[in-house]
Amino acid sequence: MNSNQLQLILNSINLASPKGVGIFALSKETAIDNQTLRNFLKNNPDYFVKLPKQSSYQLNRFGKFKGSVGLMLHDFNAKQQPQLLTNNWLLIIILTSTFISLGCAIFIAQAV
């Protein structure tokens, strides 16, 4: 899930308030797979709530974001940033190790 997809989901659900919107209608509006949506909505209770006795979802207006689309997007983007930094550091460490090993191998080969 990326930030643009989340924005589509949040806006669609917000427009359907207070009735909420079902998975199939949301999938049709956002062009995101049903199962992907179902998992994402279920795994993000700070953003979404499932309405009782219905199969529709609504923005969580009582959680820490109080139903604010802007705050939810900001939180989502902030959670994505550390993951990108970790991946970059891992790549730098692997490349550095590779070049050091290669340099040592060349040095040893020339010494023999």
Instruction: For the chain, give the percent of residues with pLDDT over 90.
Output: 50
Question: How would residue 109 be classed by pLDDT, with cut points 50, 70 and 90?
Answer: confident
For residues 36-43, average pLDDT:
94
Residue-range definition of the domain harbouring residue 69: 3-79
CATH number (domain holding residue 31): 1.10.10.10
Average per-residue pLDDT for the chain: 88
Structurally, the chain folds into a number of domains equal to 1
In a domain, 56, yes or no: yes
Name the residue among 36, 37, 5, 39 with its Cα closest to residue 21. 37
In a domain, 42, yes or no: yes
Residue 99 lies in a domain: no
Report the pLDDT averaged over residues 20-26: 92
Determine, yes or no, domain membership for 105.
no
pLDDT of residue 63: 87
Average pLDDT over residues 57-83: 88
pTM score > 0.85 for this model?
A: no
CB contact set of 10 (below 8 Å; sequence gap of 6+): 47, 59, 69, 72, 73
